[in-house]
């Protein structure tokens, strides 16, 4: 079994659904003198496995005990890949802001999943 297949199987079995969202600039105005368009929210539902905050990182004040820490599947939507700090993750109706993102590379040219840390807004 390839690493990609194992990753997909683990995310499917142990992961839960979260919604990754980002605001992107709206379309350009028709005329130069028109006000800019409102930003558009782009969202995608992804699988996520929570791993928990490490005790030593909480003790060192690098994380808070209630931070959401875990592994996020790679987004298919081009505007959301890669996830960035300030993107939001919605879990069970609660919106959290991503603070850190680290890609996990296992194939040439792309991440197979991302390790994230998010905090309540």
Tens place of pLDDT per residue across the chain (121 aa) = 566 677 677 777 777 899 999 999 999 988 989 998 999 999 999 999 888 665 555 545 567 777 888 889 889 998 998 999 999 999 999 999 999 999 887 666 677 889 899 998 7
82 contacts 62 by C-beta, under 8 angstroms: no
> Which CATH number is 106's domain given?
2.40.10.270
Structural domain that includes position 46: 3-120
Helix (H, G, I), strand (E, B) or coil at 90: strand
pTM of the model: 0.81
Can you tell me the distance from the alpha carbon of 36 to that of 33, in angstroms, rounded to the nearest whole number?
9
Strand, coil or helix: what is 83? coil
* Phi-psi label, residue 32: left if phi above 0, alpha if psi -120 to 50, beta otherwise: alpha
**What's the number of domains the chain is made of?**
1
């Amino acid at each position: 079994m390839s690493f990609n297949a194992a990753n997909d199987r683990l995310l499917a079995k142990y992961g839960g659904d979260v919604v990754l969202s980002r605001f992107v600039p709206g379309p350009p105005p028709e005329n130069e003198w028109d006000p800019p368009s409102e930003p558009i929210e782009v969202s995608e539902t992804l699988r996520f496995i929570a791993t928990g905050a490490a005790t030593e990182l909480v003790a060192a004040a690098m994380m808070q005990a209630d931070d959401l820490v875990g592994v996020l599947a790679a987004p298919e939507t081009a505007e959301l890949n890669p996830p960035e700090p300030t993107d939001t993750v919605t879990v069970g109706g609660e919106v959290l802001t991503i603070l850190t993102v680290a890609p996990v590379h296992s194939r040439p040219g792309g991440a197979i999943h991302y390790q994230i840390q998010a905090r309540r807004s």
